[in-house]
Chains A and B, each alone.
Chain A
Amino acid sequence: MIKENAVDFWDKVMNLDRRWVYLSIAIVVIIPTVIPFQVPVATTPEVKKVFNFINRMEAGDYFYLGIDYDPSALAELDPMAYAILNHAFSKDLKVVVGCLSQFGVAMAETRLAELSEKYDKKSGIDYCFLGYRPYPAIVILTMGVDFRVTFPLDYYGVPLDSLPVMQGIKNLMNVKGVVDITAGNVADFWITYGNGRFGFPVALGVTGVMSADYYQYLQSGQIFGLISGIKGAAEYEELSGFETTGLASIPYQTLTHAIILIFIVMSNIGYFVTRGRKKR
């Protein structure tokens, strides 16, 4: 009797209506909202390298931050931009920020405005926001030669030459490195033209789906660090201690991954049980 019930159960598992899967995901996504909890995050070397790059710079050192994503990738990439900017401003680093995504420029400005107010940083003195220009490959190539060719004025219309922060900074060779956060092929341009043509160090922050594509550049040394997806953002937050939504999103990811794993295990047990029965 019990055995028959068991077989019935696995039969049902094998023919499970997918809506049950969807419902489980929906419930699991709601749980951390109702019952908040924390999940420890193990850090990876590729994120640590980006963290170390920022962390080892001294007050007054320059780096370039590319906020090259648009609102559609905001959920995954925003925490990275927040963590890095928080970290940089708290260490009094000078940041040159550019945007190579048409729909992302207003968003990038909002982020900068918010954080500069928090750390009492002034545009033109502590950081420079270049704004947006189309044709990323060409912009990167010209910034390697001179920022002023593509960006004679900053985002706010002030000539770059008159900005104290840009005194003595001619091109991307004068900064310590580039951290580019993007959801698109701008990353390839930074690798090909930034690192390939000029040889300055480049690190990337990309979406989770993209990460598998960029590991090869890590291995070949064309990028020195890689932050991928929410997990990577959470690692950076963990390392730097500046928490926004990265670490907070991890419980959701953990639970959804766990439920999917449970489903996969169940479907495999079901597969073997029902197959075994068919054979008999």
Chain B
Amino acid sequence: MKKQIPIYFVLISGIVMLIQYFVPSEESEWLFTYANDWVIVVGIFALALGIWSLLRTEFKKLKNPKEAFYAGTLLFGYFIMVFTGLKREWLEAGHLHMDLFNNILIPIQATIFALLAFYVASAAYRAFRARTALATILLLTAFIIMLRLIPLGPISEVNQTAVGWILAVPNMAAKRAITIGVGLGAIATCIKIILGIERTYMGHD
């Protein structure tokens, strides 16, 4: 019985929200906002749980000499950011919290993002090999698209047209096909969830 209650709850709320989509009335709009408010409420409680788990595992890792340095760095950063941000006015520009955010966090994020340039190169080096006919098509397409950034005089003009065609025709055809598949798959998954066929996400098999 205990296992059945959540499934009935999903069934009822799923069907109610499905009907809601087709009803434009004020009550229906209210229901939609109300349901979305719940998502936020659940998120806030889960955040507390997440932070608790983070701190617990990192404190545990402090005892492990191999992990201690990383865990220590994380905890140090965590508490610095919490304490420098305790007062509302400390969150404005010019205070330590924002200085740390702007001068340490943002550059580090940009650095990790920039790794992409290197990884794209190494992945391309490995992946773009003419092993099969399909791989050759992929390779040639990539080649044409990448060439557009290299000035080659008249060849560039022809290339520009080819790039435009590749993006507007084959690229789009494939994308739309995948999108249709994704859309149907998403509806099917939703129906499975509403009907209680798919239950793994709530810890049932």
Give A residues with C-beta under 8 Å from B: 16, 18, 21-22, 24-26, 29, 39-42, 44-45, 71-72, 106, 211-213, 215-216, 218-219, 231, 250, 253-254, 256-261, 263-264, 267-268, 271-272
Contact = CB atoms under 8 A, between A and B. Distances in A.
B82 interface: no
Given A215-B171, A216-B176, A219-B168, A250 B149 contact: yes
B174 to A, nearest CB: 10
B166 to A, nearest CB: 9
Given A42-B156, A216-B172, A254 B149 contact: yes
Interface string B100-121: 0000001001100100011011
Nearest to B129: A271
A106 to B, nearest CB: 8
B113 A21 contact: no
A21 B118 contact: yes
The 5 A-B pairs with the shortest beta carbon distances in the complex, nearest first, are A18-B122, A257-B149, A263-B125, A215-B167, A22-B118
Nearest to A14: B129
B124 interface: yes
B125 A264 contact: yes
Interface of B: 93, 106, 109-110, 113, 117-118, 120-122, 124-126, 128-131, 139, 142-143, 146-151, 156-157, 160, 164, 167-168, 171-172, 175-176
B32 to A, nearest CB: 13
Contact of A260 (B93, B110, B121, B139): B121
Give the residue among A18, A106, A254, A260 with the most B Cβ atoms within 10 A. A260
Q: Interface residues of B: mostly helix, strand, loop or mixed?
A: helix
Given A44-B164, A71-B106, A268-B128, A22 B122 contact: yes
Contacts of B126: 267
Contacts, number: 94
Contacts of B113: 72
A257 B143 CA distance: 10
Contacts of A21: 118, 121-122, 125
A212 B110 CA distance: 23
Contacts of B130: 268, 271-272
B124 A268 contact: no
Contacts of A26: 118
A42 B160 contact: yes
Contacts of A211: 167
A213 B167 CA distance: 9
A18 B125 contact: yes
Contact of A263 (B117, B124, B176): B124
Nearest to B115: A22
Contacts of B129: 267-268, 271
A13 B167 CA distance: 32
A42 B164 CA distance: 13
Contacts of A263: 121, 124-125
Contact of A254 (B109, B128, B151): B151
Nearest to B151: A40
A211 B121 CA distance: 20
Nearest to B153: A40
B150 A22 contact: no
B97 to A, nearest CB: 15
Contacts of A18: 122, 125
Contacts of B109: 72
Contacts of A106: 93
